[in-house]
Chains A and B, each alone.
With several copies, the nearest count.
Chain A
Amino acid sequence: MNAPPNAEQIDPVMVAVTEMQGLADLFSRMQNVCWSKCIPNVREGILAMGEMSCVDRCVSKYFDVHKMVGEKLQEQMQKAQMQQPGATPS
């Protein structure tokens, strides 16, 4: 809290920490999603073959969706900045 005065606004350490938190958040969500999509039960204490490949594909697809959403978001935001819609009928 007693940081040097001018490093306040864009502290590179905080940026790195935030990035890491973003990655940790991404991982933890992916883990939850892929567990619920790929692991139907715990009747066995090991991963079955089918579960393993499901996990692999789930990770692969999750990354692809992550990337796609990022691109789409940016594209949308640029569009939104350009046209700025006004009317919102209720």
Chain B
Amino acid sequence: LNDMQMQDSLNTYNGLVERCFNECITHFRAKDLEKAETGCIERCVTKFMAFSQRIGTRFQEKNMQQATPPSQ
């Protein structure tokens, strides 16, 4: 279970990298990141964190609402 959580956060991390890369990196004329790109990445991460927190809260609210307690 612990391993699963580690796995999960790794997936989130790698997923975020992919997302922000796709969002912010549009050309390959040079091998280093440009100023505009690093700025975009920063905003992307910050925004994703805000998004993630909000969607996580809503998800849990909904999930609790929906869950019927098992009768054991």
Contacts and interface: CB of A to CB of B under 8 A. Distances in A.
Q: Do chains A and B touch in the complex (CB under 8 A)?
A: yes
A26 B37 CA distance: 20
A57 B30 contact: yes
Q: Size range of the interface on A?
A: 35 or more
A68 B38 contact: yes
Given A39-B51, A72-B42, A72-B45, A25 B11 contact: yes
Interface residues of B, number: 54
Nearest to A67: B66
A65 B49 contact: no
Contacts of A24: 4, 8
Interface of A: 1, 9-11, 14-15, 17-18, 20-35, 37-39, 41-47, 51-70, 72-73, 76, 80, 88
12 contacts: A17-B1, A18-B10, A33-B18, A39-B51, A42-B40, A46-B46, A55-B54, A59-B59, A60-B62, A64-B32, A73-B13, A88-B57
